[in-house]
Amino acid sequence: MRASLRRWAAALAFGLLVASCGIPLDDEPIVIANDELPQVLQTGSSTTTTLPDLLSEAVTIYLLDPGDGEAQLARVERQVPVVDAGTEIAGVILMQLLAGPTSEEQLEANLTSAIVASDEAPISVVNLERPVENQLVVVLSEAPAIEGSDRTAAFAQLVFTLTELRNVDQVRFAVRDENGNDEDISVSTGSDEGDVRRAVDRTDFPSFQILQSPGG
């Protein structure tokens, strides 16, 4: 009996305390308007935090503009996620180039790419190395499959794209065989020297001009 009285008294005391604090007691939950809540609980209060937008940076790749005659290089700007200090930006740029033109670039600017594989699997980057200053070695899954002037155009796209980087003046290409060995690729140039197995730069492709990027 005394225990019941004590519980009743405690409940009465709690009810008086709540009433004295100005908090109404209701039989059912009610919806409280946003502007009636304390500021720290209001939607859009100064304490609300939002996640920052994904950071990106502009990179340049070179596609082909067939024009009315011989194809020329078209400078195209793309936005890519900012990479951390341990990531080779050249790999990110190459992924953009190897993916080819977007549907918009194809339809609106008639841009193409000569970098094609021998089968349905796209060419991929196996490894990137920097054996000497300002030179980049690109190890591909396979060499561009086409021949003739189109093959020269493919290497021109690769070289002009990679030498957009401030610390790359020359590029050497290799392909990895089934045994995991890297063999230099014969690069088709537009110079009198023809095909070479050495590091190349922009001067090895004298027949190519750079056209203004679409919308630029």
66 — alpha (psi -120 to 50), left (phi > 0) or beta?
A: alpha
| Residue among 164, 157, 175, 173 at smallest CA distance from 100 | 157
Helix extents (H) in 111-170: 149-162
Q: Which of 110, 216, 93 is nearest to 163 (CA)?
A: 93
What per-residue confidence (pLDDT) applies to 214? Answer: 52
Query: Which strands make up the sheet holding 56-65, listed edge to edge?
Result: 56-65, 72-81, 210-211
Residue-level pLDDT at 81: 86
* CA 48 – CA 35 distance, rounded (Å): 15
Token code pair at residue 198: 């050495």
Sign for the pseudo-dihedral over CA of 21, 23, 24, 26: negative
Query: For residue 124, which amino acid is it?
Result: S
Residue 187 vs residues 71, 204, 213: alpha-carbon distances, Å: 18, 10, 26
Q: Report residues of the chain scoring pLDDT below 70.
A: 1-54, 85-86, 212-216
For residue 64, the cross-strand partners are: 73, 112
Q: Distance between CA 142 and CA 116 in Å, rounded?
A: 10
Provide the pLDDT for residue 83. 77
Tens digit of pLDDT for each residue in 56-88? 889 999 999 987 778 899 999 999 888 776 678
Query: Any bridge partners for residue 63, and if so which?
Result: 74
CA distance 147 to 40: 68
- Return the amino acid letter for 55: L
Q: What is the rounded radius of gyration, in angstroms, for the C-alpha atoms of the chain?
A: 32
pTM (whole model) above 0.75: no
CB 160 within 8 A of CB 73: yes
Report whether 117 contacts 123 (CB < 8 A). yes
Q: How far apart are CA 35 and CA 10, in angstroms?
A: 34
pLDDT at position 119 is 77
What's the pLDDT score for residue 212? 65
